[in-house]
């Protein structure tokens, strides 16, 4: 579920579908047609509905495709968020394993540039094998 920042001045949606400008159908005409941040769940754009009214079969197919595209986008966002969470967990796990190996608490060390300590030392880049 997507959360909406209600402090944003641009939010025009209402939780109550009857009071919301979209009337619960996911689209509202504010200055132009806009997706409702609370009630949009892949509903077909109203102009597309108007164009397809004379062909009920194509209209139903377009509604189905629109809803499926929305569900795909939602699933992709969930996967992206899960990947971020996984990366954070893996990082934490690595730090804990390193701490266990060291048998001492890890602490932040100040980064020292070797060139400042040893100005005559020439650094070479070594490609890991």
Confirm if 20 and 36 have CB atoms less than 8 A apart: yes
pLDDT of residue 23: 86
pLDDT of residue 4: 52
Q: Any residues with CB less than 8 A from the CB of 115 and at least 6 apart, and which?
A: 121, 123
pLDDT < 50: residue spans in the chain: 1, 9
Continuous segment of H or E residues that includes residue 28: strand 27-29
pLDDT of residue 74: 93
pLDDT of residue 82: 93
pLDDT of residue 9: 47
pLDDT of residue 1: 46
pLDDT of residue 101: 80
């Amino acid at each position: 579920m997507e959360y909406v920042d209600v402090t944003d001045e641009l939010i025009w949606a209402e939780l109550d579908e009857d009071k919301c400008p979209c009337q619960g159908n996911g689209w509202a005409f504010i200055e132009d047609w806009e997706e409702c941040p609370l009630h949009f769940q892949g509903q077909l754009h109203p102009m597309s509905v108007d164009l397809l009214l004379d062909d009920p079969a194509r209209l139903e197919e377009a509604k189905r495709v629109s809803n499926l595209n929305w569900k795909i986008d939602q699933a992709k966002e969930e996967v992206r968020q899960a990947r971020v969470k996984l990366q954070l967990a893996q990082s934490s796990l690595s730090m804990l394993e390193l701490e266990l190996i060291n048998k001492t608490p890890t602490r932040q060390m100040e980064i020292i540039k070797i060139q400042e300590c040893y100005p005559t030392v020439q650094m070479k880049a070594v490609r890991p094998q």
